[in-house]
Amino acid sequence: MPSNLVVIGINHDSASVAVRERVAFAPECVPEAISELMAETRLSEGVILSTCNRTEIYGWFGTEGEAALAGDEVITWLSKYHAITLEDLATCTYRSHGIAGLTHLVRVAAGLNSMVLGEPQIFGQIKSAFAVSQESGGIGDSLSKLFPEAFRLAKRVRTDTAIGENPVSVAYAAVDLAGRIFSDLSNRTALLLGAGETIELVARHLNEAGLGKLIVANRTLKRAEMLADQFGAEAILLADVTDRLPSADIVISSTASQLPILGKGAVEEAIKARRYRPALLIDLAVPRDIEPQVASLSDVYLYTVDDLRDVVEENVRLRSHEANKADKIVEEGVIEVESTWLQRASADVVRNYRESAMAIQQAELERAIKALESGKSPEEVITRLSRDLTNKLIHAPTTGLKQIAKEGDRVNVSRAAELLGVPASIPSDGSSTLQ
């Protein structure tokens, strides 16, 4: 049942970028982190999603009714792993479980919980996080069924609504901001730091906006060249960024670096070389690629992902109608998933019950055959067979009914009686005539 799903998260709505970067997971650390998560908590399966706007842990625990304990353990582990106090986490974490947790997962995958409503890349990021967890041994029978259901519903949202039309993302918001500051991009040069999916989207939007010149910098030149070739851009190494910084009117950064790439000193020298012509720097990374102190420099406009809220506000308003339609799809889809899981669970119960009954039948039949072979009369053997078979088949249901009646649960006694096809005699005082 989805009731064993627990979700613990921190996102752009619950915490500032300064807090989010403290709990972000470097991609290369995720496999080991998943192993530690399951070793130190009661989770048997887990997925870690870490992006510039959110860090979320999706976990599966074994026993129903332990959602609160599982959530507490995950938060404690998160505190220990990132060396951040429980008090600091308590003010910015959110949690959900069961159907609410599944609903949250679908909304995240569909881009309905993003800073930029309907942004598409989160879907690929969740699929990637799921794949990493699979490779790391973090996915078992339950999440291997649940996540594909969430992906299916997220795709349905994007195909059945206009939430994904005219793609809007953090990358789009960054380019939109650049267009507002520099009204004409055709005579401007942009320097992009990184070559991942976000930077690729930035490059595409800049190209569509008619940017004059584009430079792509990355740790590996080959990856930078692969991206640059798509847009007729120049490729350089990150190590050479300071040399090219003076020529850049716009710098947009999104790398996986754990330390800042651009410091105040380097930017200050670049501004001097530019003869104090203004420069726009947009840091889309968490942890940040550009030191916050850069914002204190004259003729430098520094924005982080948090600063893009105002830029995307209008897009959010325009998409609100489609979001309402999407929420309805999610609500109906989650109910369908719950129903499917209930049907699977009931089918498992029926199969297990039948297998148990058949095992009892086989054992009693073998005992009866041996009795006949030993010379006992057929009448005696058949009488004992029917008595023992009946007693063993009704033993578990009878024991369960007695316990329910003892607890005074009149509703479940009546329900059980219906399932067994027998009348329920329950006095008005709530006691039961079950013996």
Name residue 95's amino acid. R
Matching CATH number, 2-166, of 3.90.1640.10, 3.40.640.10, 3.30.465.10, 3.30.460.30: 3.30.460.30
Would you state the pLDDT for residue 269? Answer: 96
How many angstroms separate the CA atoms of 201 and 131, rounded?
22
Buried b (16+ CB within 10 A) or exposed e, 239-275: eebbebbeebbbbbbbbbbeebbbebebbbebbeebe
Residue 364 structure tokens? 């009693």
Name residue 158's amino acid. R
How many angstroms separate the CA atoms of 394 and 406, rounded?
18
Rounded (5°) CA angle 74-78-81: 135
Give this prediction's pTM: 0.65
In the chain, where the domains are located: 2-166, 170-309, 354-420
Euclidean distance between the first and final Cα of the chain, in Å? 33
Instruction: Residue 208: count other Cβ atoms within 10 Å of its Cβ.
Output: 11
- CB proximity list for 316: less than 8 A, separation 6 or greater: 116, 117
How many angstroms separate the CA atoms of 67 and 65, rounded?
6
* Superfamily of domain 170-309 in the CATH hierarchy: NAD(P)-binding Rossmann-like Domain (3.40.50.720)
Distances (CA, A) of 104 to 58, 98, 154, 317, 401: 10, 10, 11, 21, 38
Residue 158 structure tokens? 């994007």
Please state the φ and ψ torsions of residue 41, each to the nearest 5 degrees. -130, 175
Would you state the pLDDT for residue 434? Answer: 45
Those residues of the chain that have pLDDT short of 70 are 1, 166-168, 316, 344-349, 409, 424-435
Would you state the pLDDT for residue 348? Answer: 65
DSSP run (H or E) holding 399: helix 378-406
Active site members: 52
CA 271 to the chain's CA centroid: 41
